[in-house]
Structure 1
Amino acid sequence: MCKSRRRDDSYSSTEWSEAFTLSVSILNKPTVTLQPSWTQIYSGETVTVRCEIQGGEGAQWTYEWRAAKLNTPPTSNEYRIIRATESDSGGYSCRGRRDYFFSEWSDIITLTVSSKPKPTLSADNTTLPVGGSVTLTCSVNPSSSSSGWIYFWYRDNILLNFSSSDGQLSVSQEGLYKCKGKRGNPAYYTHASQEVQINKTRPASAVVTVQPDWPTLYSGEMITLSCEIQGGDTEWEYEWRTTSSHKPSNQSELRVDSTSPSNTGHYKCRGRSKRAQDHITEWSVPLNLTVSHNKPRPVLTVSPSWLSPGASVTLNCEVEHPSAGWSFYWYKAVPDLSEKSSSYELLPDGSGTAQDSYIIHGQTHTAGYVCRAGRGDPEYHTDHSQPKFVWSAGQFDSL
């Protein structure tokens, strides 16, 4: 406020004037901002660079810029970079000028412009579980602070009616999948990602197998029945059906240490998924198991049966189903005339031979021979064959 008085009259003065208010503001350092606020952008995107002076509102400012690529620096507080290129990368700062007054330079904000990105597409599983789904994940440079992406999805090159901001998609159909990212206004699109093939789990089926797989089993042999689920990628519970009097458990394997005719019958099984109880396989094709009560007895033949002195003799041991894993044992029959019976002495190298024939060289006397066969582990043995004799004009060979 102010008032006046006459120079020659100290007692004469005017009233005080009306008050005039002067405001002095603290002018903060300018700030450079980006819109959108991503400091990591990609070739072809659009971004607005803005200079803001807090405390200088209402003033008529002219702006100066220090920028990575400004051939003709603007004097306004913002400018737009349309379809950015990698040469737009760098630091940006600004200050304001009003008449002869200059503000401080702002801190530098760094903008990075990279080449157009290609998203990464991954799947937690490439095979669809029975009755389930797999999760696809699409990401654009996940290590970057850039955000704002909306992801679009394609199956067999057809755009799906679905988009996601978290980059994830749960799928339950097989096909060839890929994704793209989109953000900004105007919209900016990435390249398409690599493709990921998702396949269905083929229907699982049950099969019954038996080991050893002999054409005919005999009482006392050991076997293992197995229920195998082919296809699928899950854990299974098992169910058996059989026409035999032996009822198997609900395990995948059934071991019989000593078979008997009661094990004869048809065996079939099926599986139930532990994860999806409503998923059950079809019953397997029945496996027919036959266990014979009679122990097999091989038949021995000798050639020649009448011996020329010093000739070789060939023994042949024939057992039912000769290809069913048999090995052969060869014996000389030694008669005990007092007991009217014979004992058996194992011939040299005559234990568990793979061949069903055995040659005796230099036979000179009449002698009797028997054979038997064995198979499996633990080994199951047949009965001994009936003795067969090689006759000679000389005396009986008693060993």
Structure 2
Amino acid sequence: LELYLILLSISKPKAGLRADNTAVPVGGSVTLTCSVNPSPSSSSSSSSSGWKYYWYRDGKSYKRVTNEQISVSEGGRYSCRGGRGEPVYYTEDSESVRIVSNRPVVTLYPNWSEIYRGETITVRCEIHGGDTEWDYEWETNSIRKPPKQNEYRIGSASSSNSGNYRCKGRMKSSQHKTTEWSDSVTLNVSCKIFQPDYLCCTNI
């Protein structure tokens, strides 16, 4: 008696992902559309209905929605896959699409954990996504205020520069259109270890 083992190789269908834009417009969103492409071994009609769609952002599950189309306003790397039936049969994941947000990010250069009095540091407001020209607005509780530019260079840091900094951008071509405020970044200027406190707190 001879037994023959026949292995049937059936490739899974793969999800496809399409974005109507790769940069989030000011105050707007980007529309992502997920679809299921038929596998070579299946007919196109078999992939046209019954699918739910599962969304991922930066490799993690993104919202509990199963719609074919979603709108996003956050930057990140998005992907999707389809699933149907019980138990759920999943497609292969789509290729990922990188969406760039125009929400500003405040950074410190150098990004040291401690800044001492007299050191040089730059506070920078960075907005990604396209060639848009921006005017910059800062909000801080420090004594000294940054200029309305994307970069604030502090040549000799003092206690008056300590505080929280956040920024937003305003489009030069359309002043009523602004980004969201960035997250705040804290700058804390300390005395040097060998320097008395009264010297650090003076000459602000």
Structure number with higher relative contact order (C-alpha < 8 Å, ≥ 6 residues apart): 2
Which structure has the highest helix share of the two? 2
Which structure has the highest strand share of the two? 1
Normalization by structure 1: what TM-score? 0.24
| Rg comparison, structure with higher value | 1
Normalization by structure 2: what TM-score? 0.46
